[in-house]
Amino acid sequence: FPTGEALLKLGEYQLAVESLDKAIELRPENPRAFTVKGEALLNLGEDQQAIEFFDKALELNPQDLGARNGQDHSYPALAKISQEIKKFEEEQSNP
C-alpha cells in the first residue's frame, strides 16, 4: 500500500484508490490501507464510500486516529449535502 499512499500525497486520488484496491485485496487485514483509501475517496468527493472505509479501518484497529479524523470530515459533508437536497426539494415543491 505504500504506492497508494504516495499517490494520495501527490494528489492522484483516483490512481491511489486503484492501487489501494489491489493492496486491500492482498492484505485485507491491514487497517492503514482502508484509512488511506478512505482519504483518497474523501478527496474525490465520495464521502459515503469514504465513511465505509474509515469504518472498516476502525473495525480492524479501533485506535486508528487517521480513520477517526476521516470520519470527522466525512459526516459534516454528508449532512451539508442532505440539507442542500432537502432545500432543493422544498424549492421544487413550492415554485
Q: What is the pLDDT confidence band of residue 83, given thresholds at 50, 70 and 90?
A: low
pLDDT digits (tens, 9 = 90+) for 19-77: 999 999 999 999 999 999 999 999 999 988 999 999 999 999 999 888 888 877 776 66
Which DSSP symbol is given to 11? T
Which amino acid is residue 88, in one-letter code? F
Q: Contact at 8 Å (CB) between 55 and 31?
A: no
Of 86 and 38, the structure prediction assigns the larger pLDDT to 38
Residue 7, pLDDT > 70, answer yes
Q: Is the torsion defined by CA of 37, 18, 30, 10 positive or negative?
A: negative
pLDDT of residue 87: 77
Burial of 68 (0-12, 13-18, 19+ CB in 10 A): middle
The three three-digit cell numbers of residue 79, written as one number: 449532512
pTM recorded for the entire structure:
0.77
